[in-house]
Amino acid sequence: MALEYYLVKNNFVKQTTDEKVAVVNQNRVTEKELVDHMLKTSKLLPEIFVNTLIIRLMEAVVYFVKQGRGINTSFFRINLSIKGKFNGKGDQFDPKRHKINITFTPGKEFIKLVGGIEVKKVEPTIIEPFIKYVEDVRTNLTNKVATKGNWIFIRGSRLKFDEKDSHQGVFFINNEGQEYKSLNVPINNPSELLAATPSDIEGHFYLEVRTIRPGRKILQVARFQQPLNIVELED
């Protein structure tokens, strides 16, 4: 088997041909599979001995870490650190303000493995967000216009985004590549968004919804294929 990866467009950087790499979800090995492999490769070892050895090793690691000590083996290292602000030299560790961090890093034996890991490029199988249609609330017209400074419904699938991330959201892009973000999206659901059309744009704009799916790191973009005519209507 190999470490599989695919390339996707780097949507965080404008006007670039650079691609971002994404590793395919790895088929992680469980503790039981490790034991089974040890038994297959060393048939003289009884299963109870292997299981006991792993349990005792983990117990030993926990014992020393609880004492505030790091671990340094040929396969892994464990380091402890403290984060948080201390108010002067007389301050003490306070669990409410301070935090102990445990960091795992590879040891020299794992570092040696890097050069021998086989890699394989594959085609991405990403489920993309999709815009089915856009409805202007003011005119009730679908897929044609959006009223300047008013509301549009965007319906489709996998459209929900993280409003706290400035890279995600509803964007309007003109033919020159200038983009304007909707600053008000009161309905933010996977199948439906209600977004305010910016009040300072007019003319033909492409609509994009940019989102990062939960558990993923890659920005995905759903672009509505036909441009919307942003118009101003009198009351």
Predicted confidence at residue 227, as pLDDT, reads: 93
Tell me how many helices (H) and strands (E) the chain has.
Answer: 3, 16
d(CA 68, CA 93): 14
pTM assigned to the model:
0.50
**Amino acid, single-letter form, for residue 100:** I
- Cα–Cα distance, 40 to 202 (Å, whole number): 70
Question: How far apart are the C-alpha atoms of 217 and 133, rounded to whole Å?
Answer: 26
CB of 2 within 8 A of CB of 22?
Answer: no
Count of beta carbons in the 10 Å neighbourhood of residue 90: 6
Alpha carbons 80 and 201: distance in angstroms, whole number: 53
Write down all domains in the chain, each with its CATH number in brackets: 3-121 (4.10.520.10), 130-231 (2.70.50.70)
Task: Report, as ranges of residue numbers, the positions in the chain whose pLDDT lies below 50.
Answer: none
Predicted pLDDT of residue 179: 93
- Report pLDDT for 76: 93
- H-assigned helices in 73-183: 108-113
Token output for 127: 């489920």
